[in-house]
Amino acid sequence: GENVEQHPSTLSVQEGDSAVIKCTYSDSASNYFPWYKQELGKGPQLIIDIRSNVGEKKDQRIAVTLNKTAKHFSLHITETQPEDSAVYFCAAPDSGYALNFGKGTSLLVTP
Amino acid sequence: DTAVSQTPKYLVTQMGNDKSIKCEQNLGHDTMYWYKQDSKKFLKIMFSYNNKELIINETVPNRFSPKSPDKAHLNLHINSLELGDSAVYFCASSLFGTLGTDTQYFGPGTRLTVL
């Protein structure tokens, strides 16, 4: 099955700086890569996703890049704000109908 | 309107008891899931149902039994609870569930504590 590695496990940045979280996957057939944000006490929420036919996707301050050759994808958050503080998960499809999640990155944005 | 709802939000029980967690989605989705999140925040798929049929059953003890009365509901029954079952359980749903490439919408979670 798919194996997703995520790093760093914790990330602390100052407000206004950029944050980058990286993930690698093992199954070259994977074609869908979502990123989820989990705030304290809540369920994960999709913030952005990318499919294998594009290399980059952007939504305001959030962007995701995909390198299929190297089998890695990254989340970029620019102009970070305190409300960006949360746990972020990358994921890739497992053997049908489910997502295999990375172990999460705890992002702390300090004012 | 809550898209994916779970009850209860908190569940505290003794070892050996049997308990159930309920999940409902009002999105009209075909596929529903149960995930377990451990104390280190690791999210792992447990079960997946597509149109009331079991699709995925990961290596979960058979004390855990999902039941889907209709495609809007997926309940999780746990028998003979053990300390190691303590975790947050998330229900999720997706429109089709095709090969995991649909957006999955998560419920708020149920924190289970086994004493």
pLDDT, one tens digit per residue, over B6-49 is 999 999 999 999 999 999 999 999 999 999 999 999 999 998 88
In the structure encoding, which two tokens stand for residue B72, read together? 């809007």
* Number of residues written out for chain A: 111
* C-alpha distance from residue A64 to each of A22, A30, A78, A100 (Å): 10, 16, 11, 18
**Mean pLDDT (chain A, rounded):** 93
What pLDDT, on the 0 to 100 scale, is given for residue A10?
97
Q: Which two tokens stand for residue A102?
A: 């990375």
Q: Is A54 on the interface with B (CB under 8 A)?
A: no
Given a cut of 80, is residue B101 above it in pLDDT?
no
Sign of the alpha-carbon torsion through A101, A75, B94, A41: positive
> Pick the residue with more confidence: A89 or B71?
A89
Q: What are the distances in angstroms from CA A44 to CA A47, A104, B42? A: 9, 11, 12
With beta carbons less than 8 A apart as the criterion, state whether A107 and A14 touch.
no
Residues A30-47, mean pLDDT to the nearest whole number: 94
Q: Is pLDDT at A45 greater than 70 in this prediction? A: yes
How close, in Å, is residue B14 to chain A by CA atoms?
23
The CB-side HSE value for B46 (13 A sphere, CA atoms) comes to 28
Instruction: Give the gap in angstroms from C-alpha A34 to the nearest C-alpha of chain B.
Output: 8
**Interface of chain B against chain A, CB under 8 Å?**
4, 31, 33, 40-45, 48, 50, 55-56, 90, 92, 97-101, 103-109
Confidence (pLDDT) at B52:
79
The confidence band for B100, taking pLDDT boundaries of 50, 70 and 90, is low
Mean of pLDDT values over B56-75: 89
Convert the pLDDT of each residue in A67-80 to its tens digit: 999 999 999 999 99
B89/B80 Cα distance (integer angstroms):
17
Report the pLDDT value the prediction gives residue A95, as an integer from 0 to 100.
Answer: 67
Q: Coil, strand, or helix at residue B84?
A: helix
- Chain A environment of B32 (Cβ under 8 Å): none
Exposed, middle or buried, B9 (CB in 10 Å: 0-12/13-18/19+)?
A: middle
Q: What percent of chain A has pLDDT over 70?
A: 96
What confidence score (pLDDT) does residue A74 get? 98
* Residue range A83-94: mean pLDDT, rounded: 94
Q: What is the pLDDT of residue B98?
A: 65
B90 token code pair: 């998330």
B33 contacts in chain A (CB < 8 Å): 97-98
Low-confidence winner among A34-48, A50-64, B92-106 (lowest mean pLDDT): B92-106
* Chain B residues in contact with A93 (beta carbon < 8 A): 99-101
Token digits of residue A47: 């913030």
pLDDT of residue A96: 59
Q: A103 vs chain B: nearest CA distance in angstroms? A: 5
Share of chain A above pLDDT 90, in %: 81
Q: What is the pLDDT, as a whole number, of residue A22?
A: 98
With a CB cutoff of 8 Å and minimum separation 6, the contacts of B87 are B36, B37, B38, B39, B111, B112
Chain A: closest CA distance from residue B47 (Å): 9
Q: What percent of chain B has pLDDT over 90?
A: 70
Beta-bridge mates of residue A12:
A108
- When pLDDT is cut at 50, 70 and 90, the band that residue B56 belongs to is confident
